[in-house]
Chains A and B, each alone.
Chain A
């Protein structure tokens, strides 16, 4: 909490600084004595530099999907992870026993951890598992400007763990927002989501945004599984979320940014029928700090230094009852844990010639975790990771761009790793391009995969072992080849993005179960189980296999009519027979589809429809079959107030067909949502 105290009054401090700097550097707006001729010759510092501009998909060395504000609003989604349903090949699931999970093309489980997720460039994957606690992010859908998704590995640009994809959530820039906004959502089954967003400006030098919200939702009601005659677990959560974002223009070339995020709240989970997971309350808390300094050297060169800190706290204890022969015993189980991450990154980008640009970066990250329940020790566990990354983009011909990049990193648990990438983009006229890229990416084992010894303890003895590690694991490795075609046909209002890919996975990290006598090592002396037949799980490097797929997005827009965004993916996993886990090839659906239709209507009305289809597939480790299914979402909205204002009333129905199978066919039915939204700005 030390860092938070340092910035205990960011608003007041920033306002004072802002006002001072505005005068000092002459950034304040109007000056009555300014000559009219100066308006034609005055220097204006570069604003829309390469780091601020979205890279054209025609030039990008990897396939990129952008979910923009229009799509975000029209989807009706009020949870950030749901927005990723609009990315071709992305799988999204929630379950009643843990946070939602997002995977790309398959290989997902309750702790899906093969996608790197960032907020404004800072990594937010949890240091524990490497997954993302999607239901406890310190920002809401209403704070997002757009989401940029790299569909595929990009370790060369983002380092280790940018394995199956990279999701960068770009929040609304304080400089481009104004006024105050009240947002309230109320729906069936006790759902509410009330929030406020405040924006302020200090005459150009200091801009800030403060968002705060509170929401409650029941995502799973108990589901009765007739086959086993059992009621499965439910999930209801309440969250308070706040985030503060500010930029301070120190001079024409220097900018400081500060972001603070907070999310906290209880979750009711469990089932009456579960002897090891009865109804109980868990609590999550997340705190994020992000400090950035950017220096724009000239239009083509810039330097940035970023520091971020992330803290997560999870708590929850419940009684576990076990029966073995005539013995009935109750002992506590806990998820109490505390993690911290510090991340420091320096990046320099420049132009080396008319046809050559380059980027070079350095980064250091430390991760710290403490959890008796997860690691069997009350000490802090530490993990350090350093990296050097760089890329060059060279245009030997007008129609050809060669991109070469790589990351060299050192990781406490995986040693030295090098992730290279080569990309060739060949322009087919001004509005289409072919892309070929190939390279290697790695995923280092997470803290849990490196150090787990998850136990239930009672009076100094171990009653049960859940996850554990016997032998050090090696990093997962993927070698990939990607062939893409992108076309932006503005005259037709069409954008087409298609690709074929093949990924070779090596040393895939999976877990498998063992009993007392089948485990690779003898059990510890203080292990005194009530039921000796209970399984524990240990991580291991499983077999190699291959993932092959094709996907496309067709985005069509016509002014005044609306927009249609269709995405389709076909996926197959093979080449790994015999599989260590039969769920591996089954974890990829043969095909999946998303369609977002947006129709502009007279009188400032807008209707939208979201359609999502997946073929049958599996969620691994804790999950199970999700059958072939179709989901339809509807939204009707009307804007009101002054033209250009954000005022809107809408009704959203998510999953109009009712409850749907999520994560595990036998256990979970996600609740549909029906809610009204009112957004008023002033």
Chain B
């Protein structure tokens, strides 16, 4: 497997503080006429937060807004900065939770799941909370199946306790790419194999949607082994799933999300408009496990071609 997604170009020391990157962002961001004060609150100083900030650094149009570093959620954030800002950019779930607790300003959350945001919106009714989530639109998953397997007729969707709320959107998403749909819901490992046998007994592709249970390592192992026993390819939502044995996945990296956020902020003048809705990522990558494709006797197009096929006609 070699994913098509370019990993972060960041090569600096892990010990380097993320605030240096933020400083660079701030230095470049000389405010303009419709500039907003944006406080950036991170969940961690390294890892994905760092990747996101490095990418945002490269993608943000200089001088559009005033960005300031409000600290890390696990430490004590700069309260006056959070209070003064017109918009809080919360990177990761802990940062979003902290921002909602410590600030009254509108919050744009990134590197979070759709389910997290739904829960936070429920817990903080009336707060301005928007997000660019990691979840792909359902139709994008279906388009991936169609792009990889142009002759596919069926897709079996496996839902877990978290993802079952997506069930109503499945029929139109599958219909958009002319795939017959099968759906099974599971909540325990003992239910997995019977559900997979039901979904796959007539062949077709398997799509386990993002879910804390279905995406866990134990369930993933059973899903991958059982699907392979049925000679059915698995379509997934992370690069790790592809490395583990899924045929292909569509997903957004911190770099993709950063580019989306830069675009969103670049065209925004009103914080309320930024947090008005929860957005799926516009940018995404596709990864393919070539060894699995070979073992299943499938000839799969190049990742760039697949990405273009998925992007064509995709709705956000």
Contacts and interface: CB of A to CB of B under 8 A. Distances in A.
Instruction: Verify that A and B bind, or say they do not.
Output: yes
Interface of A: 22, 26-32, 34-50, 52-56, 58-59, 68, 145, 172-173, 175-179, 199, 201, 203-205, 249, 252, 299, 430-431, 488, 490-491, 495, 559, 642-646
A26 B218 CA distance: 9
Interface in B91-142: 92-93, 111-116, 134-135
Contacts of A56: 294-295, 297
B199 to A, nearest CB: 7
B58 interface: no
A457 B151 CA distance: 71
A29 B245 contact: no
A292 B40 CA distance: 51
Which of A27, A45, A175 has most chain B Cβ within 10 Å?
A175
B249 to A, nearest CB: 10
A165 to B, nearest CB: 22
B225 interface: yes
Contact of B217 (A37, A44, A203, A431): A44
B187 interface: yes
Instruction: Rank and list the top 7 A-B pairs by shortest CB-CB distance, nearest first.
Output: A36-B113, A48-B245, A204-B218, A178-B193, A644-B198, A30-B213, A34-B212
Contact of A47 (B115, B198, B216, B245): B245
Given A559-B153, A559-B203, A53 B295 contact: yes
A176 B218 contact: no
Contacts of A495: 297
Interface residues of B, number: 66
Contacts of A430: 299
10 contacts: A34-B216, A40-B113, A40-B210, A41-B48, A48-B224, A203-B218, A249-B221, A642-B198, A644-B194, A644-B201
A675 B114 CA distance: 56
A201 B215 contact: no
A643 B201 contact: yes
Interface in B239-297: 240-241, 243-245, 251-252, 289, 291-292, 294-295, 297
Given A29-B189, A55-B295, A299-B243, A645 B210 contact: no
Contacts of A179: 193-194
A47 B294 contact: no
A58 B298 CA distance: 11
Contacts of A32: 212
Contacts of A53: 228, 291-292, 294-295
Interface string B149-161: 0010100000011
A145 B294 contact: no
Contacts of B198: 642-645
A567 to B, nearest CB: 18
A491 B199 contact: no
Given A38-B212, A50-B291, A55-B295, A175 B112 contact: no
B92 A46 contact: no
B220 interface: yes
A44 B189 contact: no
A159 to B, nearest CB: 25
B221 A47 contact: yes
Given A37-B134, A495-B297, A29 B216 contact: yes
Contacts of B222: 175-176, 204
Contacts of A643: 198, 201-202
Contacts of B162: 36
A39 B237 contact: yes
A460 B116 CA distance: 86
A34 B163 CA distance: 13
B68 interface: no
Nearest to A199: B193
Contacts of B245: 46-49
Which of A31, A38, A40, A204 has most chain B Cβ within 10 Å?
A40
B190 A178 contact: yes
A203 B189 contact: yes
A173 B229 contact: yes
Nearest to A173: B225
B178 to A, nearest CB: 15
